[in-house]
């Protein structure tokens, strides 16, 4: 399986798990709690496979974390009405910019 597809699957698993964590209400709701566990198992299992196959750990983790942060922040703002201000948006852009720079550096 292509490495970036594996990375995308790991990101989706982590984002689903983190979102479900909020919905689980401290693991008091069964279905979201199951999604939390399943999502993290998928995320870490696929990320582990990616690293075992030789993908650089620094780049993999940076992309996984930054994409997860950005997606969860967007989900929080859109679906949970969590506040986002210009400072927070700027911080997300800096995180994403840092990941892009890591990837560009790897290409040289």
User: Average pLDDT per run of 10 along the chain, which is 108 residues long?
Assistant: 96 98 97 98 97 93 91 95 94 89 79
How many other CB atoms sit within 10 Å of the CB of residue 14? 24
CA gap 99, 7 in Å, rounded: 14
48-59 burial code (b ≥16 CB/10 A, e <16): eebeeeebeeeb
pLDDT of residue 24: 98
pLDDT of residue 48: 97
Dihedrals phi, psi of 96, to nearest 5 degrees: -65, -40
Q: What pTM, to 2 d.p., does this model score?
A: 0.89
pLDDT of residue 44: 97
Number of domains the chain contains: 1
pLDDT of residue 100: 85
**Which domain, by its residues, includes 42?**
3-107
CA gap 81, 7 in Å, rounded: 28
CA gap 27, 31 in Å, rounded: 9
């Amino acid at each position: 399986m292509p490495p970036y597809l594996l990375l995308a699957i790991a990101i989706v698993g982590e984002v689903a798990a983190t979102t479900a964590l909020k919905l689980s209400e401290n693991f008091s709701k069964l279905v979201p709690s199951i999604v939390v566990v399943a999502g993290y198992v998928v995320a870490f299992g696929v990320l582990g496979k990616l690293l075992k196959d030789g993908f650089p750990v620094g780049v993999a983790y940076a992309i996984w974390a930054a994409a997860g942060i950005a997606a969860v922040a967007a989900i929080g703002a859109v679906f949970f009405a969590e506040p986002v201000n210009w400072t927070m948006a700027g911080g997300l852009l800096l995180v994403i910019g840092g990941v892009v720079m890591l990837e560009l550096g790897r290409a040289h």
